[in-house]
Structure 1
Amino acid sequence: MSGRHARPGAWDDGRRNGVWDQGALDSLLVLVAESLGYTCRPVPGDVMLLEGPNRLHVSMRNLRQLARLVPRDDWPALVSDHVTTIVTAVEEPLDLSDFDLAQHLLRTRIYPAEADNGVLAARPFAPGLIEVVVVDTPTTVRTVTTEEMHGWPVSGDALFMLGRSNVRGDGPLQVDEDELGGVRVVVLHGWTFYAATHLAWLEEYLPIGPYGALVVAPNRSQIVAHPLLPSGSCPRARYRAAVTAARELQAHARRAYEEGPGSLSPHLYWWRMGELTLLDVRYQGDAVVLPDEFTSVLTKLAAEP
């Protein structure tokens, strides 16, 4: 499946003899960090720790994913912009004390659950994912802490609703139809950090009946969905189509999660009435094995006239 985030040619530019040249990116990051007064050392989690006026973490995985999108000659500028943005966000913090001004900058962004360090204004969004209040400026997106949140007249669920409202106000995602393994899917995408937030109102993008939809949100810019609808084919074909969709969406999620940028989840979810349930897709030989609850729903779907 192609998408605006995909750049196969740039991926080839970033390889040397078929192996990703991570050393070049590491060296560039060290040079940029030292020019800003920081030293670097790798720490667990594929992260580079920058130590200087502050302690900062740079995800090397995300940096590699970003590098895939541009020619190799542009890597120095990419690394410089990336690191400088992170440093500036910490060293020149915004004054968020005036909520009347800050509220227009607030958004909610979806992150992997492991990003929660205990101080973020965050809440569960789906298994393995959290929803975080962030401040969106023309140059950077930074997370909001619970301390900052409690200093505002609006907090808790009301603050998250405000952030979601601002994401909606930024405009809808682009909607395309595509095929995965011969099954029709709907692709929602855009040049935004907030695509996954739109899962909260997925039903506004595509027809979803009582059986819900299969969805994946592999990275920050893309959602792929397959509605479970009782129409257009014989019962057995409906069942097979849903199983095929589960298999193909799971495979796509894993690929797109690795590609990034902004990896979120390699997992398959079942969207029902705004709630997301993790679907554990297993295999027995070549056969797909789905959870019993989901299989029983597929049986009902196939039995509808």
Structure 2
Amino acid sequence: MHHRTAVRAHRLDFQRVVADGEHRPPDLGGAYLRLVPDDFLRAEAAAAFSYARPVVDGLLEAIALDTPDAVRLLDDKGVAEIGLEALRSAARANLINEPVDRETVCHNGALIHLIAGDSFFVASKALVLPELLRTYLGQEPPADGVLLALPSRHRMAIHWIADEHAVSAVNALASFGLGAYQDAVGDGQLSPRLYWWYQGQVDLDHAHRPGDAAVLHPASSRAAGGHAPAERAGQLRTRQSRRGRRGPGLG
């Protein structure tokens, strides 16, 4: 997929779902946190969405309003009518409760959890990943984190990093992410990249890029003096190399 084609697809999507000039007070029951590509907003429109924040290389968190007629991003004026914190809190709660479908497949010993649905907010559940894991897998996030592919708004894939099978998961998720991203032209492309979620919360505000993976690094972990994701990846790689296997390719 050529970059210009992808950008053009995002802009068409933006023109379709954002109703310019609409500033009616939103129904908080229809508000959702939403991941969008950082080129989703036209340059001339971006200034009206200054509250949208980057969560990792290439992706922004914004607030969308889901109405019977359309899904649109709220601009600064629409957000100000409610207040950013109150609106974001309601949007986060609605995102947690948004239903999705799940299927688990095995690739060379690695379990891959495929999350999908018709909702515009399936992949946005990466913003509330601990809640997603508890609800659909019945477990807390693992100490070594989770690998993520977020190819489109309707699909995401997850691998629980627990052992040397993370090597197979990297290959599987990278292939899935790129293919699903290319298939989603005009239907909500997000990112072809592979992400590593590590001790993450909603505030995923910093990204390193060791190797071919972007690493979601929460501010809370840095403030608490915890291991940086790259350090943690090195520890995992060292443990796995002692078993005679390569690490997950994250360091």
Indicate whether the TM-score tops 0.5: yes
- The answer as to 2:53 corresponding to 1:123 is yes
Larger RCO of the pair (alpha carbons < 8 Å, separation 6+): 2
Asked if the contact 1:185–1:226 (Cα under 8 Å) also holds between the matched residues in 2, the reply is yes
Aligned match for 2:123, one of 196, 208, 219: 196
Distance 1:103 1:292, change over 3 A: closer
Aligned-pair CA distance for 1:114: 1.8
- The answer as to 2:229 corresponding to 1:296 is no
Corresponding residue number in structure 2 for 1:75: none
Aligned-pair CA distance for 1:200: 2.6
Taking the TM superposition and a 5 Å limit, the aligned residue runs for 1:28-107 are 45-46=4-5, 59-60=8-9, 86=16, 89-90=19-20, 94-97=22-25, 102-107=27-32
Q: How many angstroms apart in 2 are the aligned matches of 1:193 and 1:199?
A: 13
Distance 1:60 1:196, change over 3 A: closer
Aligned-pair CA distance for 1:190: 1.0
Residue by residue over 1:136-179, the C-alpha shift from the partner in whole angstroms, topping out at 9 and shown as x without a partner, is: 111211111112222x2421x4422221212233x332121013
Residue by residue over 1:166-209, the C-alpha shift from the partner in whole angstroms, topping out at 9 and shown as x without a partner, is: 2233x332121013355221111111110122113323233322
Asked if the contact 2:32–2:92 (Cα under 8 Å) also holds between the matched residues in 1, the reply is yes
- The answer as to 2:153 corresponding to 1:220 is yes
Asked if the contact 2:96–2:128 (Cα under 8 Å) also holds between the matched residues in 1, the reply is no
Q: How many angstroms apart in 1 are the aligned matches of 2:241 and 2:86?
A: 40
Corresponding residue number in structure 2 for 1:179: 106
Aligned match for 1:263, one of 168, 189, 206: 189
Aligned-pair CA distance for 1:88: 9.2
Q: Normalization by structure 2: what TM-score?
A: 0.69
Aligned-pair CA distance for 1:113: 1.3
Asked if the contact 1:267–1:279 (Cα under 8 Å) also holds between the matched residues in 2, the reply is no
Rg larger for:
1
Q: Percent identity?
A: 25
Distance 1:60 1:154, change over 3 A: closer
Asked if the contact 1:270–1:278 (Cα under 8 Å) also holds between the matched residues in 2, the reply is no
Distance 1:119 1:210, change over 3 A: same
Distance 1:268 1:124, change over 3 A: same
Corresponding residue number in structure 2 for 1:12: none
Aligned match for 1:161, one of 80, 89, 92: 89
Aligned-pair CA distance for 1:228: 1.2
Distance 1:148 1:131, change over 3 A: same
Aligned-pair CA distance for 1:89: 3.3
Asked if the contact 2:150–2:157 (Cα under 8 Å) also holds between the matched residues in 1, the reply is yes
Aligned match for 1:246, one of 159, 170, 192: 170
Residue identity in the other structure for 2:148: V
Unaligned runs of 5+ in 2: 213-229, 244-251
Query: How many aligned residue pairs are there?
Result: 207
Residue identity in the other structure for 1:296: Q
Corresponding residue number in structure 2 for 1:235: none
Aligned-pair CA distance for 1:295: 3.4
Aligned with 2:19: secondary structure?
Answer: helix
Q: Normalization by structure 1: what TM-score?
A: 0.58
Q: Alpha carbon RMSD of aligned pairs, Å? A: 3.2
